[in-house]
Chain A
Amino acid sequence: MSAAAHLSSEAAGAGQRPPSSGAAPVVELIGISKAFPGVVANDDISFDVRRGEVHCLLGENGAGKSTLMGILSGIQRPDAGQIRVDGEAVDIGSPRDALELGIGTVYQHSTLIPALSVLDNLMLGDTHKLRLDNEGARKRLEEIGSTLGVEVDPSARAADLALGRQQQVEIVKALWRGSRLLILDEPTSMLTPQAVEELYKVLSRLKENGLAVIFITHKLHEAAFLGDRISVLRRGQLIGTLDESAVKSATPDQLEQRIVDMMFGDLAPSLAGAAELKADLGEAEQLEAVQAEPAPVSADEALTLERVSVRGEGSEPGLDDVSLTLRMGEVLGVAGVDGNGQRALAEAISGQRKLQRGEVKFLGAPVGHVGVTGRQKLGLRYLTDDRLGEGLVPGLPVSMNIFLKLIGEAPFWRQGRIRKSAIDARSKELVERFDVRTPSIDTRAGTLSGGNIQKVLLARELSFDSKVVVFHKPTYGLDLKTTQTVRQMIRDMRDGKAALVISTDLDELLEVSDRIAVLSRGRIVGEVKPGPGAAEEVGRLMIGDVSLGAAEGAAA
């Protein structure tokens, strides 16, 4: 009891002072630098956050955002620079120090322990007493929950909660010991649109309660929508901070334009890559315009699913009597809330899951009995969403990962012996063509950034006579520039190939697909053509056929 009382009084104390924006910063970073072998992750960064504000930290993947937050939360130590909390220089040597200084962090990857209950997860690390204080913790959860407008079942297992709900628990956990600064690292990357809405609500309540929030993101519109101040990081350097007056006075469009300029370089024209991206963005818009006209779709059936049923796995549903047709030269999108049979669909097509009923036809010929390798050789490829798991072998070099599915085949292998020269030559060519940013083709693939890992996988799946490719969440977690590149590659599939894009990002599907099929609880519940009103129509289908329980999960 005493522990809880102590904590709550601390929180109440923080709430008494009225939120004032011009106040002294809660936390200041001065001249922070951090280098890893081969990369300068943070270069002389100064940055601060005040009470009652959301300070957005924006940057591409690999810009150094996560390193900076790692330094604040005690996971990393800076090589140089100073951190001040309430004006006093502090040394944050461990996560414990950070918590004691009132810095709570919600990490990009969940730190909840799936097998434990919500309450156990929250109590973890309270080492004031030997005995777990269940009652106190329950009260504390209720108290923080009501402040945030969040209700969580304390005895539910963390693994059983929807992702959005899990994140709410993470936020409660970060505030558990009376934090005054909350750091959120890419909090929306795993969430459904509804859950993002809820997160925004929670954030505004936090602001009202006088907390300082650092919101890390690579999504422009989020920063523009949420930020009281916005700072932009690029290649380890802080390019600039838009202060409150600048953020408030600009219209959303102006603001996004200014941020794009900061991120990609009109303010620093010497940096390469900026013009390229602008061109990419421009091109994307043009293509959208082009896409409005119906693309010429040939009559040849590339891929057909005839009344396919497969078993689900764990809590994920399988497929129930799904029929789909994808024609050559077409991009077919599959929309749906995550966990409605997407994985089952992808794996039924790739051959990784056995069909219970129905048939899969590839170029008119049934392939239901053909194995994974056989289908690959025919030109039916699958770009997995589990990039680090089934996607690649992190410990093998980039070149071997590109050839992972061709092991033993001529001309890259001869009589069981590897022909390194052939592999290296082809890998170099592909790395260049797909613009994989890697120190060399011998670099271990696991050390690359997420965007570059995806490019390695794309190089593998789109080359070597691919005809039809299933893309599963192709741009999930990627930065803006890579996202545009990948979407362009998908559009390029129209040229003589075909693509099935399974994604939870509706904007993406609207942008790239000719048709959008909607998957709900393992069934195709409808089909929509992109155009005015398409998003609402898809949304209606996504929710419409869903019974109450699943709808709740979607909203959470």
Chain B
Amino acid sequence: MRSFVSSARLAGALSLVVWLTACASAPELDHSVTATLPQRQLLEDVPFHPQRDYQCGPATLAMVLNHAGVDVGVDQLIPEIYVPSRKGSFQPEMLAASRRHGRIPFTLAPRFASLLEEVDAGRAVVVLQNLSLPAFPLWHFAVVNGYDLDSEEVLLRTGVTRQDATDFGRFDATWQRSERWAFVALTPGELPVTISPDVAIQATSDFERVQGPEQSLPAWQALVDRFPEEAMGHFALANAYHATGQPQAAIDAWRSAVARDPSLAPAWLNLGLTLASQGDDEEAREALRRAASLDGPWQQSAREALNEQQGGHR
């Protein structure tokens, strides 16, 4: 029994060592990505704000927002994201504050290549690291503003260090503890190098909720350009056109949406309602009929709108 316990202990200790060593190894880099990138990239023009006290969140956010053309200081950001009793800032509030300053926060796919691609495209990336071990966490926000594939180093503006270089292995060990959380804050109309349409659409919609359709219009246009086959992108663009007083552009975009996905009931509904308001009753009824024929949360509204339309013509 005793030998069983001690061998179990030994196995436990060994697996811990194996696990720790696994963490320290350099991240697997996608060679199809790195082959297309320059060996070294450094964004010198990212301003530096050294953190004061525990306020790496506001300092980090100020650096990326400034770099994205927003005139905002650390002092203004402290009341927007700092949480006094936790002596720190939460990830969602970093994203929320970016929206308040007119930039769309896109959370990047948790892969090392995302950082390199964004830096190569000229964007500073916010990362969350746990510099310590999971048992005694030391959570820290920093800005990745460069990389060097030869020396295998990530270049950062971090803490009170203006230009830091951390080797890939150590950086990834600390970054993977946040599940490789990273985001860029982009001007509406820009998109990350690699992003899924669903993530981009949700991020833009979340921005629109805060900043409204006029600010979001360029973002929806960029989204439709990048993902022309995505019906939801056309739908959202149409809604933004409609909300900014451009019904004809909206009608065209809803038509593009239903051409891509004829089962997108809310697009038929909005198309029908807007055609009706433009006096195009025949086409309006046709669109509303399509909406009313599709199961889902918009069916009821479509039936009511159709009734109103047909009622008005009796």
A-B interaction: no
